[in-house]
Amino acid sequence: MIRVFIVDDHPVVIEGIHALLQNEKDIEWAGHAMNAASCLGFFLNNTADVLLMDISMPGMDGIELCAIMKQKYPGIFILGLSTFNQGLYIKKMMENGASGYILKNSSKEELLKAIHAVDKGDIFFSGEVSQALQEYQKSSMIQLPMLSPREKEILGLIAEGYTNPQIAEKIFLSSFTVDSHRKNLLAKLNVKNTASLIRLAVERKLI
């Protein structure tokens, strides 16, 4: 018996999902909440196996609630729920411990498949969602100017917090040379200071 709880601020969605699951013999309706606070309240005295969670809610959003719930109750598996099929949201939910993600207009079969997979501790995304996720990965990896090996090396050292003179000493170069590479990095990546440089480098996984 899988106890399913749902958090969503749209009554229609709650009712809809409830109706879909009503006749499932191995699924028990644990209840629902319409915001983060009352969800947290429910779990003070109750529990569930699978938590369907809307991503966008008034007050605290699903992303944040997901992190809190997972931290408090690691044994509860969370299934993200959204009308939007946006890679960024999916990724953030996963980073906060969700076990899957489905669209609100999913078919009953997809919903059940996801609930069962998640309840077993598996991680599951339907093809539709997985496509969005992979497209997001791809889009966030658009072409960057090529960096020479030396530049990559120095970029790494900058990111580790070394100053030009320190880098120079470390790899036996003149501090002027290191400075040249540094300026080339700024120019090539089209950023204007160290902060933007490092942010870009980390986000685009250059280091």
- In whole angstroms, the minimum distance from the beta carbon of 18 to its own copies comes to 25
Nearest CA to 201 among 166, 171, 188? 188
Phi, psi of 80 (to 5 degrees): -65, 150
Give the one residue of 150, 155, 169, 203 binding DNA; rule: CB under 7 A: 150
Q: How far is it, in rounded angstroms, from Cα 139 to Cα 28?
A: 40
Q: Does 194 bind its own copies (CB under 8 A)?
A: yes
Q: How far is it, in rounded angstroms, from Cα 178 to Cα 124?
A: 47
The one of DNA, its own copies, none whose footprint includes residue 81, by CB under 5 to 8 A per kind, is: none
The piece of 15-23, 37-45, 92-100, 145-153 that touches its own copies (CB under 8 A) is 92-100
Size of the site for its own copies (CB under 8 A): 41
Give the one residue of 13, 34, 159, 173 binding its own copies; rule: CB under 8 A: 159
Residue with Cβ nearer its own copies (183 or 192): 192
The residues near 135 (Cβ < 8 Å, ≥ 6 apart) are 87
Q: Does 195 bind DNA (CB under 7 A)?
A: yes
The 21-40 contact track toward its own copies, x by CB under 8 A, reads: --------------------
Give the one residue of 88, 160, 169, 174 binding its own copies; rule: CB under 8 A: 160
Q: Does 196 bind its own copies (CB under 8 A)?
A: yes
Nearest CA to 143 among 89, 190, 95? 190
Q: Do 102 and 79 touch, CB atoms closer than 8 A?
A: yes
Phi, psi of 115 (to 5 degrees): -60, -45
Q: How far is it, in rounded angstroms, from Cα 169 to Cα 69?
A: 48
Residue with Cβ nearer DNA (127 or 161): 161
Q: How far is it, in rounded angstroms, from Cα 36 to Cα 40?
A: 6
Other Cβ atoms within 10 Å of 90 Cβ, number: 23
Q: How far is it, in rounded angstroms, from Cα 55 to Cα 84?
A: 9
Size of the site for DNA (CB under 7 A): 25
Give the one residue of 11, 59, 84, 138 binding its own copies; rule: CB under 8 A: 138
Q: Does 177 bind DNA (CB under 7 A)?
A: yes
Q: Which residues form the interface with DNA (CB under 7 A)? A: 146, 148-151, 158, 163-166, 173-174, 176-177, 179-183, 186, 192-195, 197
